[in-house]
Structure 1
């Protein structure tokens, strides 16, 4: 079902400082910040050639990232994102095997303009999993 690793997301308390660290210390190609109000985050993508790192900063006090940062003030790995060819089919198959899709179970549009869902971390050994539909 899952395809390639699309990105590893890291929640950070200060997006500008984290972006500068990756750019200046690691020489990474760091994209521009992108606000995603529907998801409660501002993101920056770092292209690693074969995948991406997504830096996440809370956008507003109701952001799910705000709670993560409250528990992990320095930040940390937040989720793994895998590509799937058909997100509706993936959700149906996962739910049939007992996996829980967070929220209302329906895909929302993510940072790349593609449908995404998140899977409950308790169903995947503590790892929050994002599935992103990528066709072709």
Structure 2
């Protein structure tokens, strides 16, 4: 059901500093900051060629990653995103198998303008999983 890893998201306390480290020390191609108010984050994507790294920082005090950074002040891996062809079918299959979809269970628009859902980390060995619909491409 899942396809390739689309990105690994890392919560960071300072987005500009993290972006600079990835660009200057690792020689990575680093995109521009993108505010996602509906998700409460600001993100920068680092293109590694075969997948992306999403650096993310809180956008506002009610950001869902603020609590993560309180527990992990230096930052750390927040979630993994896998591509799926059909998010509705994937969601139905997951729920039927006992997985919990976070939120109201309906896809939201993600950073790439595509439908996404998040799966409860307790159902996947402590890892928050994001699924992003890529269609039939």
TM-score normalised according to structure 2 size:
0.99
Q: Which residue of 1 aligns with 2:126?
A: 126
Equivalenced residue count is 136
Q: Can you give the 5+ residue segments of structure 1 that lack an aligned partner in the other structure?
A: none
Q: Which residue of 1 aligns with 2:96?
A: 96
Q: Give the Cα–Cα distance (whole angstroms) in 1 for the partners of residues 121 and 65 of structure 2.
A: 15
Q: Which residue of 1 aligns with 2:11?
A: 11
Q: Give the Cα–Cα distance (whole angstroms) in 1 for the partners of residues 121 and 22 of structure 2.
A: 27
Task: Please report the RMSD computed on the Cα atoms of aligned residues, expressed in angstroms.
Answer: 0.4
- 1:127 Cα deviation (Å)? 0.4
Q: Can you give the 5+ residue segments of structure 2 that lack an aligned partner in the other structure?
A: none
Q: Which residue of 1 aligns with 2:73?
A: 73
Moved over 4 A (4+): none
Q: Give the Cα–Cα distance (whole angstroms) in 2 for the partners of residues 48 and 87 of structure 1.
A: 25
Q: Give the Cα–Cα distance (whole angstroms) in 2 for the partners of residues 66 and 24 of structure 1.
A: 27
